[in-house]
Structure 1
C-alpha cells in the first residue's frame, strides 16, 4: 500500500504545472495536459488544455440525483470510502469534518465522498452515516453509484487507487487521498486524509483557490 501511495505521489510530482508569483500564492495544476493550437483574430495561438474531471451521475444520502453539473463553478474536495470500512475511513471522515466545519457556510465549496461499496452503501445507510458524522444540508454529499463507474472515475480521473480484496479487513483497499478540484474541474492538490497536518494545508489551499481568478 505504501509503495502504491508513493507511485501516485510521483505521478503528481512529475505531472504538475506550477505557476509562481512573488506576490500571490498559486497552486499547481495536476494531471495530463496537451498543447492545442488555434487561430484567434487571424493569429496562431497555442493554449494548454489540462486534464479535467469528466461527467458523472450519482445519488446522494438524501436520495437526490447529483451530477458533475452540480459542481459547475464550485471548488470541491473528493474522496473515496465505504461506510463499513474498519481501517482508514473513520480517521479520514473525522479529518474531513475540519473541511466541512470550516466551509459549510460557503456556497462555493463542496465535499463529494464516493462510496466504493455501493451494494451495501444504500441511500438509507449513507444517510445514517451522515447523521452520525453530524452532516447537514448540501455542502457534503455521500454518493452512491455504479461500482465500475466509481472505480474508473477514482483511478483515471482523481488518480486514487481503489480495489476490492476479500483478503483484507472490510474487503476493500483504497488510498486515503483528499483531492482538491477547482472551479474548472482541474486537480489542484492531493492530501493524505489521515494526516491532520495535510488536511490543515488543504484548508489553506481551498482559501487560496477562493481568491484565484477563473482563467
Structure 2
C-alpha cells in the first residue's frame, strides 16, 4: 500500500502542468562576451553549449547537430550489453518517449559508449526491441574518443572504459535536457521514477519558454 501511494504521488507530480512563469536554469560554467548592439559594446553572460558533432544512428545514417536545430532534446549515454543501470534507464526513457513522441520539436539522443560492439545494426535491434520506430529517438554510435569527449567535456557526464566496472564501462545514469540552442537546462537521475518525472515536467516547462 505504501509503495502504491508513492507511485500515485509521483504520477500526480508528473501530471501537474508546467508553470509558464518558471524558467529552468542554465548549467555549466558561464563566461562573459562583448557584443555590439546599436553601436554600443555591451557585456552578456554566455553559457556553454554542445558543440558540432557527427555520429551514425541505428539506420546507418549520419546524425549531426543540424538534425537537432530548433529542437529540445534529451541526451544520455549507455551501452547495449550493460548489466546494471542501462535497462532501468531505458525503461524510464520509454516514459519520456511516450510523453514526447508526437511532438515534432522534442527529440531523444542516446549515445553508446561501446561503439565497437554497438554497430548501427545492433542499435537497430535494440531500438526495435524497445518499440522505437521513428526519428524521435536516435541511438548513435561513432568514434569512441569523440563520444567520450563530448560526454565528459560538454554533457558533463561520466563516460569511459573501465575494466573494473560491470560490463567494462563506466557511465553516468543521468538524463540531460538541452534547449534549442543546445544549452544544458537540467540533469536528472535516469535510474529513478522521481528523476524521470521531474524531467517530463521540465520538458513541459522548457517548451513554454518558446511559446
**TM-score, scaled to structure 2:** 0.88
Does residue 67 in structure 1 map to residue 60 in structure 2? no
Q: CA deviation at 1:196?
A: 0.8
Corresponding residue for 1:32? 29
Q: 1:3-152 alignment to 2 at 5 Å?
A: 24-152=21-149
Cα distance in 2 between the residues matched to 1:121 and 1:184 = 29
In the alignment of these two chains, the number of paired residues is 193
Query: Structure 1 residues 47 and 90 mapped into 2: Cα distance closer, same or farther (>3 Å)?
Result: same
Cα distance in 2 between the residues matched to 1:39 and 1:66 = 34
Q: CA RMSD in A?
A: 1.3
Q: CA deviation at 1:47?
A: 1.2
Consecutive unaligned residues of structure 2, counting only runs of 5 or more, are: 1-18
Consecutive unaligned residues of structure 1, counting only runs of 5 or more, are: 1-21
CA offsets per residue over residues 130-188 of structure 1, 9 Å max, x none? 11111111000000010000000000000001121122321111111000000011000
Kindly report structure 1 stretches of 4+ aligned residues shifted beyond 6 Å: none
> 1:211 is paired with a residue of what secondary structure?
helix
Q: CA deviation at 1:99?
A: 0.5
Greater relative contact order (Cα < 8 A, sep 6+): 2
CA offsets per residue over residues 9-62 of structure 1, 9 Å max, x none? xxxxxxxxxxxxx97011000112111123321323211111000000011111
Cα distance in 2 between the residues matched to 1:112 and 1:207 = 18
Q: CA deviation at 1:194?
A: 0.2
> 1:170 is paired with a residue of what secondary structure?
helix
